[in-house]
Structure 1
Amino acid sequence: MSEPSVWTKRRMGALMGGGVGLTIGFLFGSWSILQNGAGPRGVLSTLSKTMLSSAATFSFFLAIGSVIRNDSPILEAAHLRLMAPAPAVRSRSEGFQLMRARWEEERRRESSRS
């Protein structure tokens, strides 16, 4: 099973932002109408304008945020590489012993292949 693409994540972010924006727009628009009145355009027009502008704003920013937070394998590998613990500090003699042990292991592998 593969991960969703960047465009799928963008669309999902936009849809979630639209839903959140419509809800927030309804709440704040209703509060504004109750507090200040509907104005010359009427209740429905004022409420719908508030809801749509809020939905467009939230949708735009959540779509961008979803793309930015895209956890692609390349970015994840780079992050793991950056967050890896620092190598242990060893003395020169320990380093030489490890190097000689690796060389011996490589020689054994080469001799077993032949």
Structure 2
Amino acid sequence: MLVAESPYGQFQPSCFYRVKMGFVMGCAVGMEARTLFGTFSCLSMGMQGRELMGSVGKTRMQTGGTFGAFMAIRVDIQC
């Protein structure tokens, strides 16, 4: 959703759109980082199969949500 127009004729995204995109980008970065580090740590503990996938999946969602929330707050402060 485009709202304000700058003096140069280009539209600026709304604050809500920026916060939403900050949350989405934070989720993506947090989930991928946890996938890499979580997989290696679970493999080093000897997990296999369903136990490995369940553990990595759960921590991946938690980390993605947390990092996404912090990114959304950061963008909201900046608006």
TM-score by length of 2: 0.78
2:5 alignment counterpart? none
Pair 1:28 & 2:25 matched: no
Percent identity for Structure 1 against Structure 2:
33
CA RMSD between the two structures: 1.5
Matches within 5 A, 1:87-102: none
How far apart are 1:27 and its partner, in Å? 1.1
The runs of at least 4 consecutive aligned structure 1 residues that moved more than 2 Å come to none
How far apart are 1:2 and its partner, in Å? 2.5
Larger radius of gyration: 1
Greater RCO, 1 or 2 (C-alpha within 8 Å, sep 6+): 2
Q: 2 CA distance for matches of 1:37 and 1:11?
A: 38
Matches within 5 A, 1:8-87: 8-38=17-47, 42-70=51-79
How far apart are 1:32 and its partner, in Å? 1.3
How far apart are 1:28 and its partner, in Å? 1.6
Could you list the runs of 5+ residues in structure 1 that have no partner in the other structure?
71-114
Q: Provide the aligned length of Structure 1 versus Structure 2.
A: 69
1:82 alignment counterpart? none
TM-score by length of 1: 0.56
How far apart are 1:67 and its partner, in Å? 1.0
Amino acid at match of 1:12: M
Higher strand share: 2
